Structure 1
């Protein structure tokens, strides 16, 4: 079915609220891991095997608080991330050199979240008009600046971003550490993985793998084929048809649930 028209007067809240964007979360995480410094920090300072959803849910909670939260909630989200990131740094002489508070790594993480969100948005929802696309792009910088990334690191326009992104993708070399973390993420094992998670993982693996750049996909050693592409096309095509008729409360459920959970904890 051909999509017609464009979405006007849109902002980051309109994009981030849609639950379908969460389906691109695996892509964002694997792209983050494709930077060897990020992969080293994650592999040496986290527990993907024991808690395979922790990074995804933690990232989503951060995004929702920064995008939809009050000033106090945004500050709390920043403090929480800063506390978690404080010990994530390499030892003297360790290779690769990394630190979670490195502004250029913050830029890369924010960029993967933006690019993955817009990739899924453009595949499932109507396209943004040029003005809205630029506005959404500028607003997405907050995912980095909220952590202290200098605003000037964010490329000025979508055209600048695309040139920077294509060059960045072309130079990434996926490390063995990254492949190990990716295996734990895409193939969660008991006792850390609940039954419902293992049930949805085949679809999650299909979407995550299919949305990756072919070069990155090969480096991760993820299988792909024409029949997998046909299944992915069918899934996305069905979602394009169904998504507009789903009630807003369901389409926005992850954001609503995340904010409510955060506010209950603080209360």
Structure 2
């Protein structure tokens, strides 16, 4: 029997899909739900954050309940990278759109998640068979949010070369909370401080279990083909993802940090860090950030 999810059967990803257009200009003067000029927007604005997409998804599905929901309810196998980029577009709209644009994007995601519920079919360490799950569970929503926050920060620090000091890390976390609340993360489960978030992250990562369902998602995302073809992109994606993931999680996915992968990731880090200071804003940053800047500035005119 043929494998319908073999790399050669995956739909090709048009390169233009990696450059989602910004939403409309929105209501003049409306700052949106995230802090204008804040650290959270500054980190998210970097185009390089797209490098962390596969790592964030692999972290999410390393939670057995998230993996089960994806395996049963998601169409990742029909086009995993397309789904990843749809998630990117929603995140950019919520971060940089005006208030109604942000809420509409979050409502759209919430409507898609409303049907994702059930019970686990098999037991994995720490999660017995029959454990209930639902996408709107605040604890699961917090984990998904945490993967986005942590991975974006790590990409910006490693591949853009912007190190966040303790005060900036605290602001980054606090400014991420309005984003989280729009995606079903209740205030009751949000870590109070940046230090609390770091402790939550360490504890949560230690409990991750990479299941066969998670490995299927990883295989599909990391073997995605592009149109036009770009030789070496999949290998580079695996190198960067191995670099960004916690070592134990990377190993569980079969993404060991081999000398070749280390060298590939290091070369890309050097290239991007060298280029970033001289890149025009329109190249280095998502256009969503400029739309938000102009919209907010309209209130001062």
Asked if these proteins are the same fold (TM beyond 0.5), I'd say yes
Give runs of aligned pairs for residues 236-247 of structure 1, distance below 5 A. Answer: 236-247=269-280
Asked if structure 1 preserves the Cα contact closer than 8 Å seen for 2:119 and 2:131, the reply is no
Match of 1:225 among 258, 280, 286: 258
Residue in 2 that maps onto 1:148? 184
Match of 1:212 among 239, 245, 251: 245
Residue in 2 that maps onto 1:51? 79
Q: Hey, what's the Cα distance between the residues in 2 that align with 1:99 and 1:37?
A: 8
Match of 2:66 among 25, 38, 47: 38
Give runs of aligned pairs for residues 95-114 of structure 1, distance below 5 A. Answer: 95-114=130-149
CA-based RMSD of the aligned residues comes to: 2.4
Q: Hey, what's the Cα distance between the residues in 1 that align with 2:182 and 2:117?
A: 20
Asked if structure 2 preserves the Cα contact closer than 8 Å seen for 1:66 and 1:142, the reply is no
TM-score, reference length from structure 1: 0.85
Give runs of aligned pairs for residues 1-267 of structure 1, distance below 5 A. Answer: 10-90=38-118, 95-123=130-158, 124-188=160-224, 194-196=227-229, 200-253=233-286, 255=288
Count of residue correspondences = 248
Which structure features the higher share of helix residues? 1
Alpha-carbon shift at residue 109 of structure 1 (Å): 0.5
Q: Hey, what's the Cα distance between the residues in 1 that align with 2:209 and 2:119?
A: 22
Asked if structure 2 preserves the Cα contact closer than 8 Å seen for 1:61 and 1:258, the reply is no
Q: Hey, what's the Cα distance between the residues in 2 that align with 1:256 and 1:149?
A: 24
Unaligned runs of 5+ in 2: 1-36, 122-128, 293-301
Q: Hey, what's the Cα distance between the residues in 2 that align with 1:198 and 1:152?
A: 47
Q: Hey, what's the Cα distance between the residues in 2 that align with 1:148 and 1:176?
A: 27
Q: Hey, what's the Cα distance between the residues in 1 that align with 2:241 and 2:120?
A: 35
Aligned partner of residue 134 in structure 2, secondary structure: coil
Residue in 1 that maps onto 2:30? none
TM-score, reference length from structure 2: 0.76
Off by >4 Å, runs of 4+ in structure 1: 91-94, 256-259
Q: Hey, what's the Cα distance between the residues in 2 that align with 1:68 and 1:176?
A: 36
Unaligned runs of 5+ in 1: 1-8, 260-267
Alpha-carbon shift at residue 153 of structure 1 (Å): 1.5
Q: Name which of structure 1's ranges 71-80 and 195-204 shifts more when overlaid on structure 2.
A: 195-204
Residue in 1 that maps onto 2:28? none
